[in-house]
Amino acid sequence: MHPDYEMVIGLEVHAQVTTASKLFSGSSTTFGADPNTQTNPIDLGMPGMLPVLNSDVVDAGVKLGLALNCRINRTSVFARKNYFYPDLPKGYQISQFELPIVEHGNMIIDLEDGSTKDIGITRMHLEEDAGKSVHDFGADHHSHVDLNRAGVPLMEIVSEPDLSTAEDAGAYLRKLRAILRFLEVCDGNMEQGSMRCDANVSVRKKGVETLGTRCEIKNLNSIRNVMRAIDYEADRQIDVIESGGEIDQETRLWDNVKNITRTMRSKEDAHDYRYFSDPDLLPLNLTEERIEACKEVMPELPDQLKARFMDEYKLSPYDASVLTLSREFASFYEALVAGKRDPKICANWMTVELFGALNKMGREITESPVSPDQLGELVDMISDDTISGKIAKTVFEEMLETSRNPKEIVEEKGLVQITDVGALEGIVQSVLSSNQDNVEKYKAGNERLFGFFVGQVMKETQGKANPKIVNDLLRSNL
């Protein structure tokens, strides 16, 4: 990105609330059902149908508001947002406009370098989701509509334009997702669409106060795509400005095949939604008792857990934030440390080895083939020198494939580390005497050959020699 410019980013996230039934009707919200099997006349917008509010969605909204330090509005109003589309059965969406359920909050995001940033949350409101159109089959001039999703409850969370980089955006989404999951109000699955993100991006010259014209980017189905799209869009806008052009305020679609954004809607087609308060519903008035009741059942949230981990386990801010991205990570970690193992070593094994492997396998931590106890056993065997770190990695791979205990694997494969100094002395001397010409070169100043000798000893011992002992022995013999 051009060094004279900076980005201004705001994110709008739609999170599906994990209730059994829809926002205003009793239809099921389960993902993946056959088309239109989870619709009733209310969802279908048939004549005479009326909405009745789902109380669990209200509680979910209050809890999210509390977690984001928002003002909980004692009165909020449902409004009709009017437009025509086949996935919108009533010809209007029931949403909230002037008076959302919560607003004016903030969320701390954790960056890779360990620093944090405080991002403002403008508001969160409740609204119903629309159905889905599919275009894969049938005649070219037709589309097919599945209204199972129509009426599913959504929380729309709008951030202040306080994000400045794609990394910020990634951190924001990871944190928000963590909070949603900790509260158990949304499963945060972007691939399945239970959490969706639109990005508002503008650029301006550094030092300038006023905001540039922004574009809204849609069709972002993963955190990585959000970050890619933001970087692409910022560069695009800078190019336009640098070549003397102006940015049109518009909605653009992210094309994740070509990795570009392209025009979707221009200003001319901007909708007049004609919001007005829905006369089929009454205002939502929250009592102090209800808000207190929600406060009482709030779980420990990611930031609190992160602080506790930093304090108890002396972890770095970033490691602590990664391990507390979900309650499942945190419980796995705590079971791994189990009050007896080195927290830093455990943190490394989880964040580097385990997460890396799970990502490759496309699995969640709850589907890990390796349990905390098993991983702990492996860590113990390194700590007490039973195996070397390098051998441990091999054992770990086997554990991932077979879910077997490390002790078993090590025994079966005879991978116990050789720590017998006498035996190793013999092998070191044998290696050195078989490689006299390299010994000469080393003594003449070629330090790098040390690695060669180490490698030879390892070869002789099938990698089982304790590396530290080998190093010491080589040094003393050279």
Partner 1 sequence: MELYELGLKEAATKIKNKEISSTDLTKACLERMNARNDTINAFITIAEDQALEMAERSDKRVKDGNPRLIEGVPLGIKDLFCTKGVLTTAASHILDGFVPPYESTVTGHLWDAGGVLLGKTNLDEFAMGASNETSYYGTVKNPWDDSRIPGGSSGGSAAAVADWQCPATTGTDTGGSIRQPASMTGIVGLKPTYGRCSRWGVVAFASSLDQAGPMARSVEDCALMFRAMSGFDPLDSTSADKPIENYDEGLEMDVKGLRIGLPKEYFIEGLDPQVKAVIDAAIKRFEDAGAEIKQISLPHTEYAVPTYYIVAPAEAAANLARYDGMRFGLRIEGDNLVDTYIKSRSAGFGTEVKRRIMIGNYTLSSGYYDAYYTKAQRVRALIAGDFDAVFEDVDVIMTPTAPTPAFKIGEKVSDPVQMYLSDVFTVATSLAGLPGISVPAATVSVDGSDLPVGVQMIAPAFAEKKLLQVAYAHEQMTNFELKKAEVRG
Partner 2 sequence: MSIDLKTVDKLCKLSMLDFEASEKEEMREELSKILDFVSQLQSANTDGVEPMSSSVHAQSTPEREDVITGDDQRDSYLAVSPKSEMGFYTVPRVVE
49 binds, among partner 1, partner 2, none (CB under 5 to 8 A by kind): partner 1
Q: Which does 21 bind (CB under 5 to 8 A by kind): partner 1, partner 2, none?
A: partner 2
What character string, x for contact with partner 2 (CB under 8 A) and - otherwise, covers 229-268? ------------------------x----------x----
Of 131 and 212, which CB lies nearer to partner 1 in the complex structure? 131
Q: Which residues lie below 8 Å from residue 185, measured CB to CB, with a gap of 6+? A: 15, 17, 18, 60, 63, 64, 155
Q: Distance between CA 288 and CA 286 in Å, rounded?
A: 7
Residue nearer to partner 1 on the CB measure, 3 or 84: 84
Residue 208 near partner 1 by CB under 8 A: no
Does residue number 27 form part of the binding site for partner 2 (CB under 8 A)? yes
The CA-atom distances, in angstroms, between 82 and each of 117, 132, 167, 314, 381 are 37, 18, 36, 53, 64
Among 467, 461, 333, smallest CA distance to 388 is for 467
Q: Binder to partner 1 among 30, 41, 440, 462 (CB under 8 A)?
A: 41
Segment 107 to 146, residues that bind partner 1, using CB under 8 A:
141, 145
Distance CA 139, CA 143 (A): 8
Where do we find the tokens 């158990």? 184
- In the complex with partner 1, which residue's Cβ is closer, 80 or 464? 80
Q: Residue 322: what are its φ and ψ, rounded to 5°?
A: -65, -45
**13-21, 80-88, 412-420, 427-435 -> range binding partner 1 (CB under 8 A):** 80-88
β partners of residue 262: 253
Compute the least distance from the CB of residue 93 to partner 1, in Å.
11
Residue 264: HSE in the Cβ half-sphere, 13 Å Cα cutoff: 13
**Among partner 2, partner 1, none, what does residue 438 contact (CB within 5–8 Å per kind)?**
none
Residue choice 3, 84, 296, 422 for contact with partner 2 (CB under 8 A): 84
d(CA 321, CA 310): 9
Rounded Cα gap, residues 98 and 270, in angstroms: 19
Shortest Å distance, C-beta 126 to partner 1: 15
Give the separation between CA 83 and CA 64, rounded to whole angstroms.
Answer: 29
Q: Does residue number 98 form part of the binding site for partner 2 (CB under 8 A)?
A: no
Cα first-last separation, the chain: 52
Q: Which residues bind partner 2 (CB under 8 A)?
A: 19-21, 26-28, 34-41, 44, 46, 52-58, 78, 82, 84-87, 133-135, 137-138, 140-147, 253, 264, 272, 274, 276-277, 279, 281-286
